[in-house]
């Protein structure tokens, strides 16, 4: 029997019309949704950013090329602008819905929606700071402390659904009164003063026999410690004890700074200070969100490496000895070290001589054990490391920790400088001793 494949039935004109009608509905719906989405700033940001990321990935995978620095900085600019806008929106909504006492504190402190300074710090993280203590910087640093300003830290400022804010405010009677009415605590030991350069610490002396610049973030600003208890102050003391001559250090530490801002701070103050040494202090959130960095999820290492290289080139061009120091976190002292991710990856991306990298973790552990042993001998408890401000639930160095950091750094700097120039200090080289063990 003749078997033939039957041709498919030709759809009727009515069926074709129904099919095209359905397609038109789908296309119209997609178009309307796209229009609505692109009308919002959030959607526009994600579309632009997604397109740029796709382009960068194609360049890398297909052509083996990386986006040039202009494109990288343009992407950071978009992300930062969006983060600032979002933070301002959150601040405005919070301010409108909070208590009269909290609104009064924000107004007095220069942190309300009309006067608060919202700037980006590390990466694209935006936060709210007082416009009376800080000012905008448009030359790479984003923000900077105002010169000749006395301020103090507030603690326990409860912001339900509020913005990420850093409450370093003017130390004035009206600010203290507003803080008390809002239920905040004035941290009396955290009073700080800036010099005429807008930096924490005494007036820098570019004509001192020994000069240095310290780059860093809140660990170097030493946010909850007094003016005489910062790492830079202790470092100058230990170096002076060794060399018996004046040591002046420009402490450029600012809360929230990152390797990018470290470089621009060095570019500004280094020319004025003419340092013989530059110390760069880094901590986990210079390389991504703090906790993920400790578990291997840091995503800013390439960016940090770029700025480390620029800092190194500046130091080479100005004959300044460079030392990068990784801050040991209280987690690494009290719980698990996990150094493969931090600071291990930091050491990997910092392409310098071995002596230019310093990891103080072992000496912090030793000192913490000494403190714990002494507490046990005296019948006291020791629940958290005394090298950090854990008593006030803060993770930064306590004065003890700042002094220990300075001893370790001073010992390395002395060896580096006296190896580089044996006649430095006009004295034979000797090491700075570690903290003496308790009996």
Q: What is the per-residue pLDDT across 88-138, written as a single tens digit (0 to 9) for each? A: 999 999 999 999 999 999 999 999 999 999 999 988 999 999 999 999 999
pLDDT of residue 273: 98
pLDDT for res 43: 47
Give the whole-angstrom CA distance, residue 214 versus residue 323.
Answer: 10
Over residues 319-337, the pLDDT tens digits come to: 999 999 999 999 999 999 9
Q: Which residues lie across from 119 on neighbouring strands? A: 127
Other beta carbons within 10 angstroms of residue 217's beta carbon come to 26
Please tell me the distance from the alpha carbon of residue 109 to that of residue 254, in angstroms, as a whole number: 19
| Maximum mean pLDDT: which of 19-28, 160-169, 415-424 | 160-169
343 cis-preceded (ω within 30 degrees of 0)? yes
Higher pLDDT, 4 or 195: 195
Mean pLDDT of the chain: 88
* 432 against 39, higher pLDDT: 39
As a whole number of Å, the CA-based R_g of the chain is: 28
Q: Examine the pLDDT at 414 and tell me if it is beyond 50.
A: yes
Residue 331's alpha-carbon distances to 62, 283, 291, 327, in angstroms, are 42, 12, 10, 11
Q: Indicate whether 426 pLDDT > 70.
A: no
Q: What residues pair up with 135 in beta bridges, in sequence order?
A: 144
A 10 A CB-CB count for 402 gives 23
Mean pLDDT, residues 148-173: 96
Given phi > 0 = left and psi -120 to 50 = alpha, else beta, which region is 62? Answer: alpha
Indicate whether 190 pLDDT > 70: yes
Inform me whether the pLDDT recorded for 423 exceeds 60: no
**pTM (2 decimals)?**
0.83
For residues 262-280, average pLDDT: 98
pLDDT bin (cut points 50, 70, 90) of residue 5 is very low
* Predicted local confidence at residue 248, as pLDDT: 98
pLDDT at site 429: 36
């Amino acid at each position: 029997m003749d078997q033939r494949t039957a041709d498919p039935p030709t759809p009727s004109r009515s069926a074709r019309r129904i099919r095209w009608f359905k397609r038109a509905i789908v296309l119209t719906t997609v178009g309307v949704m796209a229009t609505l989405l692109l009308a919002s700033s959030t959607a526009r940001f994600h579309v632009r950013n997604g397109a740029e990321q796709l382009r960068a990935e194609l360049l890398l995978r297909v052509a083996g090329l990386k986006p040039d620095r202009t494109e990288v900085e343009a992407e950071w600019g978009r992300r930062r602008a969006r983060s600032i806008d979002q933070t301002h929106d959150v601040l405005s909504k919070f301010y409108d819905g909070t208590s009269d006492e909290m609104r009064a504190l924000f107004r007095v402190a220069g942190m309300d929606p009309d006067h608060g300074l919202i700037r980006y710090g590390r990466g694209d993280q935006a936060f709210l700071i007082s416009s009376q203590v800080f000012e905008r910087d448009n030359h790479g640093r984003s923000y900077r402390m105002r010169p000749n300003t006395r301020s103090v830290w507030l603690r326990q400022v409860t912001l339900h659904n509020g913005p990420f804010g850093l409450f370093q405010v003017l130390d004035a009677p009206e600010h203290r009164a507003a803080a008390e009415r809002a239920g905040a605590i004035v941290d009396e030991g955290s009073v700080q003063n800036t010099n005429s350069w807008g930096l924490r610490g005494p007036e820098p002396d570019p004509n001192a026999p020994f000069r240095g610049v310290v780059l860093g973030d809140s660990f170097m600003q030493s946010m909850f410690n007094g003016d005489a208890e910062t790492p830079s102050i202790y470092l100058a003391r230990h170096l002076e004890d060794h060399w018996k001559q004046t040591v002046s250090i420009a402490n450029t530490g600012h809360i929230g700074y990152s390797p990018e801002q470290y470089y621009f701070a060095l570019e500004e103050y280094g020319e004025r200070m003419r340092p013989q040494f530059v110390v760069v202090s880094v901590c986990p959130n210079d390389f991504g969100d703090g906790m993920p960095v400790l578990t291997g999820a840091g995503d800013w290492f390439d960016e940090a490496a770029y700025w480390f290289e620029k800092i190194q080139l500046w130091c080479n061009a100005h004959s300044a000895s460079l030392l990068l120091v990784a801050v040991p976190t209280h987690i690494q002292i009290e719980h698990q070290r996990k150094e493969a991710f931090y600071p291990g990856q930091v050491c990997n991306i910092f392409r310098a001589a071995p002596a230019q990298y310093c990891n103080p973790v072992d000496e912090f552990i030793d000192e913490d054990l000494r403190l714990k042993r002494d507490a046990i001998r005296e019948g006291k408890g020791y629940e958290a490391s005394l090298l950090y401000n854990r008593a006030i639930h803060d993770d930064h160095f306590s004065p003890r920790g700042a002094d220990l950091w300075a001893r370790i750094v001073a010992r390395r700097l002395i060896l580096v400088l006296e190896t580089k120039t044996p006649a430095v200090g006009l004295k034979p080289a000797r090491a700075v001793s570690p903290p003496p063990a308790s009996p």
